[in-house]
Every structure is written in structure tokens, then in C-alpha cells.
């Protein structure tokens, strides 16, 4: 509340000032007044020593609303999209993503790949350091990768490594020791990885936060090491200077970053604010420079009127989770009834209004393999965008609940998304069942869904490396994000064949086979493939957002 009150007060003050002088409400000249935390940093002090004319001409601080407070900034434990923007600007892996989402050197200067595509040898840059001045070494990668595949860590994305690295799964199962796993720090500057099978997207994986390096002496200081500037030791272009729980995290330029000379911004403050109306007011007044929080109701006006509104491509699928281990959702006919009773088209066009596409499969658009978009080839599985009420009612009757008779009250666990109310109304009207929404704060909602403490919930996934297995591998036994608790032997067999197949066309065919099995059993009800509405000060250049949702400000700079 303190942050919200302060932000609204800032907006009110700006409005009075601007009305008196007739200024532009999107002017960035007053934005420095909203970042007092930046005044406590050495970098800001250095900037203040520059000439007054230069500091007035070029803005060096960025204030950006990112929505929910990240559930974790620990690379091994972060298992949702909330930390993406913070972590993308404070850490780097062996590779990073360019503006076209292609992997390029980051901590690694270059690498060699064996002829059989199984062995990757990464050679680290000479001038890479942690934000406390200590060198980044290959052992820092070794430590974190080992931590990710250790069962006690309970890494949400650990299955990334388990599926691809030689003997990683065997280590996780307790069958071999760590020396048998296919990664090693050959020396301080050489990190060698041996894969279980050729993986065409492996370099993309090394850009994901799960495989960022970490220092053991930092992690052992406590589970909340990432909430204090003194222990949040990172290796990216920015480092932490302040963390206010429930309010904001402030970053400053990292002087030890190898590309520090090319980093223009001195400070970045990421605000945790989920109220879209207040976020928009803050942006339009100039109190903040951007926001990832945009209301669907505002989008038609923003597209027409606001300079600085962007609607970007986004590899994300939003769906409804069914807990397949709990009756009556263990019945495929119940799941299909609920899926077919949803009018996805009206949700996209009347509620969301940001170019979202009704979903009818697991893998979203944007995954191009073997020269073709995986979703376009896979088709829609016969699920009409507007739903099919007659089929939905037939499925429910087949499950033993004709006209909804005897169906237990359905409770949807959610964290306040407006389209869930529409889903509730569709189920009640089309299936004659009673539906209740159980709204939770995001952190609580996520914890309970992960623990299986639900029957039906809002769900979804944002891509991590741009390949169909990004989604398909969520429903393996090793996955930490199989929230539907669904298991199917034939599905796992198809994925195993895809993983071991070296011929790309055959590999793609196995992945389609797996998705066919998934959609026949329907452990989720697809809703829509997303886009990314975002507000950014039009004077800010050099930033980019990956289709995977990562916002990069390394090369960002304000024009005059």
C-alpha cells in the first residue's frame, strides 16, 4: 500500500504541475523525481558529477512496472514468468538471446560442437566478473547445474537438464554419482557438456535462467539471499541496490560487467503493481517509463491514441488446469465437456481484445521446426473457437451427469483474471452446473496449484526456448510443472522417441504424435494463445522483448 499511495501522490503532483505550465503529460523530464532510491548509489553519484546540462539532456534512470512481485529470483527455483524481466537484466548464461531470439555468446566467448552433436565445449570470456568483483568461473556453472538436478533443490525447471544431459536423470534417481553426469568444469575457463541425445535447441537452453551460474558461497547464506543487495551477487549488466518487499526492486549499472561501457542506463526501478488503471495513469503522467500491466479494456483506445503502446508477439498459451487425480476430473468426458463448453472466440475478441488467438492444441504458434510452424501443421483438433455446447452436454451426460444433474460444485482457483469470470458463466449456462471462483494472491495461488491443492485452476505457460518440447515436456514424470498430475505411457514413449531421433522430420512427427495423445486425453482446456501488450516511453531506444517474454534493457538508452 505504501508504494501505491506514493505512486498515486506522485501522479497527482505531476498533474498539478503540468496543468499549470501546459506541458506534455508524457514528458520524461520529471521522471527522476520518482526514483529516490537511485540517489544512494555510487553510480548515481558519479552521474551527478557530470555537467548539469548533460544530465538534463539525457535521462539515465528507468522506472518500469512489472506486475506481480517475483516469487523467486533464484535461478534454480524460479518456476513462473514473474522474475523474467529482473533476471534477464541481472544475470547472463553461457549464451543470451539477440533481438531475433537467436542464441549469441554471453559468458561464453565461443564454443566447439563435436561432429555427432553430443559434446559442447564452452570457452569463457577472459573479462567476466561477478558484481562484487570476483571472477566468474566454469565452476560457478558446474555448481548451479549440479544444484538444479539435485532432488533436494526441488527445481521447477530441473527437467530441462534431466532430459538432455548424459546421466542427469540417473543422478537424480540416485543411480550414479555426480562425476558420471555429462557436464564438467575442465578448468576455470572451460565448461564441457555431453548430451544424452543431439538437441538442436541446446544453445537456446543455455540462455535460460535455470542454467545461469551461481556462487555457492552466496546461496548458502540463506533461502532469501536474492532479496538483499549484499547477497544478490549477479553477473549481468545491472545489479541490485534496493529490494522493498511488496513494492519494488531497484537495479544499478554493474561496473564489473564486461560490457559496462555500452550500458547507458544508470538505474532501473521495477515496481510491483498489478492494478492496470493505476499503471496506465502512472505511465500517461510520466511517473513511470513503462508497464507490463495493461488492461484489456484499455487496449482499443491505446492502439488508436497512445504513443508508446506496443502489441508484441508472445509464445504463451493460457489454459484451464484439471487435477486429473481428483474426481470427477479424472474422467476424460468431464474434461472434454468443460473444454467444449467454452467460447474462446468471444473471450479473445470481447474481453481480451489484444489480438489473442483461440487455442485448440497444447503448443502455441511461433514454434518453427523443420521449416514449418508446429501449430499450423498440428491443426485445431476439431475444437471450434466458439465452442460446441451440444457436444459439451453430450460429454457430460456420458460421464453420468445429464444436464448437469449430480455434478459437484466446481471451484476454479484463480488470482484475479477477468476472463475467468466469463468461463464460469459459460460453464454454468451451457452445462447447468454450479461454479465458484476461489481467488487467491498470486504467490498463494501458485503454491497451492503446484502442490495439487485444487480441482480446477487457471493455468498456462510462457515458452523458455522456442521449441515444441518446451510445452510437451511439461507433462513428463520428471517435470516440476505437471500441475494436472497427468500420466500417459504412450505419450512418454512418443516423447522419448522424439528425443532420441536425429532425423528432424521424424522427430517432429513423434512430437505431433505426442500432442495427439495429449489432446485426446485433454488434461487441460485450451483457452488462448497470447500477445504481449506493453507500454514503453517512446524516448527509450535499444530495448527489446523476446517472444519468450524476457525484456532486455542492456542496450537501452533515452534520446533527448
Q: How large is the angle between the packed helices 504-521 and 489-500, nearest 10 degrees? A: 160
Instruction: Report the percentage of the chain scoring pLDDT > 70.
Output: 90
Residues 6+ apart with CB under 8 A from 509: none
Average pLDDT in the chain: 89
- pLDDT above 60: residue 33: no
- pLDDT above 90: residue 159: no
Which residue in 158, 170, 4 sits closest to 76, CA to CA? Answer: 158
Output the pLDDT for position 56: 55
Lowest mean pLDDT among 13-17, 247-251, 530-534: 13-17
Helix (H/G/I), strand (E/B), else coil: 517? helix
Whole-angstrom Cα distance, residue 121 to residue 365? 32
Buried b (16+ CB within 10 A) or exposed e, 113-149: eeeeebebbbbbeeebbbbeeeebbbbbbbbbbbbbb
Q: What is the pTM of this model?
A: 0.81
- pLDDT above 60: residue 38: no
Output the pLDDT for position 477: 86
Output the pLDDT for position 479: 85
Q: What does the pLDDT average to over 153-177?
A: 90
Whole-angstrom Cα distance, residue 258 to residue 124? 12
- Of residues 456 and 415, more confidence is placed in 456
- pLDDT above 90: residue 109: yes
Q: What does the pLDDT average to over 193-203?
A: 93
| Cβ proximity of 366 and 315 under 8 Å | yes
| Cβ proximity of 123 and 111 under 8 Å | yes
Lowest mean pLDDT among 4-13, 226-235, 260-269: 4-13
Output the pLDDT for position 184: 98
Output the pLDDT for position 43: 41
Lowest mean pLDDT among 13-17, 361-365, 495-499, 531-535: 13-17
Lowest mean pLDDT among 173-182, 320-329, 446-455: 446-455
- pLDDT above 80: residue 108: yes
- pLDDT above 60: residue 339: yes
Query: In this structure, how many other beta carbons lie within 10 angstroms of the beta carbon of residue 51?
Result: 8
Output the pLDDT for position 30: 28
Q: What is the DSSP code string of 315-369? A: EEEEEEEE-TTSTTTTSHHHHHHHHHT--HHHIIIIII-SS-EE--SSS-TT-EE
Per residue in 282-310, pLDDT (tens digit) is 999 999 999 999 998 899 999 999 999 99
Query: In this structure, how many other beta carbons lie within 10 angstroms of the beta carbon of residue 385?
Result: 18
- Of residues 88 and 5, more confidence is placed in 88
Per residue in 2-30, pLDDT (tens digit) is 343 344 434 343 333 333 333 332 333 22
Which residue in 66, 13, 64, 61 sits closest to 39, CA to CA? Answer: 61
Whole-angstrom Cα distance, residue 356 to residue 359? 9
Amino acid at each position: 500500500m505504501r508504494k501505491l499511495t506514493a505512486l498515486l501522490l506522485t501522479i497527482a503532483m505531476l498533474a498539478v504541475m503540468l496543468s499549470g505550465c501546459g506541458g506534455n503529460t508524457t514528458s520524461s523530464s520529471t521522471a527522476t523525481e520518482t526514483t529516490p532510491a537511485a540517489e544512494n548509489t555510487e553510480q548515481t553519484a558519479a552521474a551527478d558529477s557530470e555537467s548539469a546540462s548533460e544530465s538534463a539532456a539525457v535521462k539515465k534512470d528507468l522506472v518500469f512496472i512489472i506486475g506481480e512481485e517475483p516469487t523467486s529470483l533464484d535461478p534454480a527455483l524460479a518456476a513462473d514468468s514473474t522474475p523474467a524481466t529482473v533476471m534477464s537484466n541481472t544475470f547472463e548464461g553461457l549464451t543470451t538471446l539477440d533481438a531475433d531470439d537467436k542464441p549469441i555468446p554471453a559468458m561464453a566467448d565461443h564454443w566447439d560442437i563435436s561432429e555427432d552433436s553430443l559434446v559442447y565445449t564452452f570457452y569463457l570470456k577472459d573479462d567476466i566478473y561477478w558484481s562484487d568483483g570476483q571472477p566468474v568461473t566454469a565452476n560457478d556453472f558446474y555448481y548451479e547445474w549440479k544444484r538444479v538436478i539435485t532432488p533436494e533443490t526441488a527445481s521447477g525447471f530441473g527437467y530441462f537438464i534431466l532430459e538432455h544431459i548424459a546421466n542427469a536423470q540417473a543422478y537424480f534417481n540416485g543411480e550414479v554419482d555426480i562425476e558420471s553426469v555429462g557436464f564438467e568444469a575442465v578448468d576455470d575457463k572451460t565448461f564441457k557438456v555431453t548430451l544424452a541425445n543431439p538437441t538442436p535447441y541446446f544453445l537456446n537452453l543455455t540462455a535460460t535462467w535455470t542454467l545461469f551460474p551461481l556462487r555457492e558461497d552466496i546461496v548458502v547464506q540463506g533461502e532469501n539471499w536474492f532479496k538483499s543487495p549484499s547477497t544478490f551477487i549477479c553477473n549481468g549488466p545491472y545489479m541490485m541496490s534496493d529490494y522493498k518487499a511488496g513494492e519494488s526492486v531497484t537495479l544499478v549499472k554493474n561496473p564489473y560487467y564486461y560490457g559496462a561501457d555500452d550500458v547507458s542506463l544508470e538505474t532501473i526501478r521495477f515496481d510491483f503493481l498489478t492494478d492496470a488503471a493505476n499503471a496506465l495513469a502512472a505511465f500517461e503522467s510520466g511517473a513511470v517509463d513503462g508497464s507490463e500491466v495493461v488492461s484489456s479494456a484499455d487496449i482499443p483506445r491505446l492502439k488508436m491514441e497512445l504513443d508508446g503502446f506496443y502489441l508484441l508477439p508472445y509464445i504463451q498459451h493460457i489454459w484451464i488446469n484439471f487435477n486429473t487425480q481428483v474426481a470427477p476430473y479424472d474422467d476424460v468426458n468431464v474434461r472434454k465437456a468443460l473444454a467444449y463448453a467454452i467460447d474462446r472466440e468471444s473471450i479473445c475478441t470481447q474481453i481480451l481484445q489484444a489480438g489473442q488467438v483461440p487455442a485448440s492444441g497444447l503448443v502455441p504458434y511461433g514454434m518453427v521446426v523443420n521449416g514449418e510452424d508446429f501449430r499450423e501443421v498440428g491443426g485445431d483438433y476439431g475444437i471450434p473457437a466458439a465452442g460446441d455446447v451440444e457436444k459439451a452436454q453430450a460429454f457430460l451426460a456420458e460421464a453420468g451427469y445429464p444436464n448437469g444433474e449430480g455434478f459437484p460444485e466446481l471451484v476454479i482457483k484463480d488470482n484475479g483474471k477477468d476472463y475467468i469470470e466469463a468461463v464460469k458463466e459459460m460453464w454454468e449456462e451451457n452445462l447447468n452446473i454450479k461454479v465458484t471462483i476461489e481467488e487467491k494472491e498470486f504467490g498463494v495461488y501458485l503454491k497451492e496449484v503446484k502442490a495439487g491443492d485444487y480441482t480446477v485452476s487457471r493455468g498456462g505457460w510462457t515458452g523458455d526456448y522456442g521449441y515444441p518440447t518446451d510445452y510437451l515436456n511439461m507433462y513428463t514424470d520428471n517435470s516440476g510443472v505437471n500441475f494436472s498430475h497427468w500420466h500417459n505411457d504412450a505419450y512418454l514413449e512418443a516423447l522419448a522417441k522424439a528425443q532420441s531421433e536425429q532425423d528432424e522430420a521424424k522427430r517432429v512427427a513423434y512430437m505431433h504424435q505426442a500432442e495427439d495423445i495429449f489432446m485426446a486425453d485433454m488434461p487441460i482446456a485450451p483457452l488462448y494463445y497470447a500477445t504481449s501488450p506493453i507500454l514503453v516511453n517512446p524516448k527509450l531506444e535499444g530495448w527489446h522483448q523476446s517472444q519468450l517474454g524476457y525484456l532486455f534493457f542492456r542496450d537501452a538508452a533515452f534520446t533527448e
